[in-house]
């Protein structure tokens, strides 16, 4: 992504369900780093789940990275491009998927930001706050990876 392009890092999950809060933890850690780097074109946001209104939130961005916890055995994390889909429950336990939000954005606003999904491997999902030790390690690895992507502008 060339300099000056607007980027949104958008996490979703429930921090009250242990590792389901991985995405939220990532944007909490990433926000101060972005400010220190003076990267005004990079924004972070988070919510408990994706909503159809998020199509409006991404319409003016050049690139969007959705961040979520994963129960799948994906290694520490997985980063991949999101293609639009009318399906509502792809690769997520949440009601709306990134692919569905992207499809809405295209359909409603005729805008197609580069869209990616960063999934971070989680292990514990009980009703309590705090990440499991393994998830915290995966978070650190995913955070380093994402910082590298942002700095280099190479999203491939």
Give me the tens of pLDDT residue by residue for the chain, a chain 156 residues long: 445 789 999 999 999 999 999 999 999 999 999 999 999 999 999 999 999 999 999 999 999 999 999 999 999 999 999 999 976 444 444 468 999 999 999 999 999 999 999 999 999 999 999 999 999 999 999 999 999 999 998 887
Q: Which residues pair with 82 in a beta bridge?
A: none
139 within a domain of the structure (yes/no): yes
The tokens for 40 are 């005004």
1 within a domain of the structure (yes/no): no
Contact predicate 93/49, CB 8 Å: no
Q: Total structural domains in the chain? A: 1
CA 33 to chain centre: 16
Cα gap 81→116, rounded to integer Å: 4
Contact predicate 151/1, CB 8 Å: no
pLDDT score recorded for residue 26: 98
Residue 104, domain CATH: 3.40.50.1450
pLDDT score recorded for residue 93: 45
95 within a domain of the structure (yes/no): yes
2 within a domain of the structure (yes/no): no
């Amino acid at each position: 992504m060339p300099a000056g392009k607007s980027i949104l890092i958008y996490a979703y999950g429930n921090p009250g369900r242990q590792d389901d809060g991985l995405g939220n933890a990532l944007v909490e850690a990433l926000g101060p780093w972005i400010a220190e780097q003076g990267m005004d074109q990079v924004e972070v946001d988070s919510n408990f789940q994706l909503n159809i209104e998020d199509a409006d939130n991404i319409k003016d961005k050049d690139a969007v990275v959705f961040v979520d916890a994963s129960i799948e055995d994906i290694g520490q994390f997985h980063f991949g491009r999101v293609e639009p889909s009318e399906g509502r429950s792809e690769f997520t336990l949440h009601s709306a998927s990134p692919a569905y939000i992207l499809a809405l954005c295209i359909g409603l606003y005729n805008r197609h930001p580069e869209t990616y999904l960063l999934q971070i491997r989680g292990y514990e999902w009980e009703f309590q706050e705090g990440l499991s030790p393994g998830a915290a390690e995966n978070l650190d690895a995913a955070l380093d990876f994402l910082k590298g992507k942002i700095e280099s502008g190479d999203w491939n």
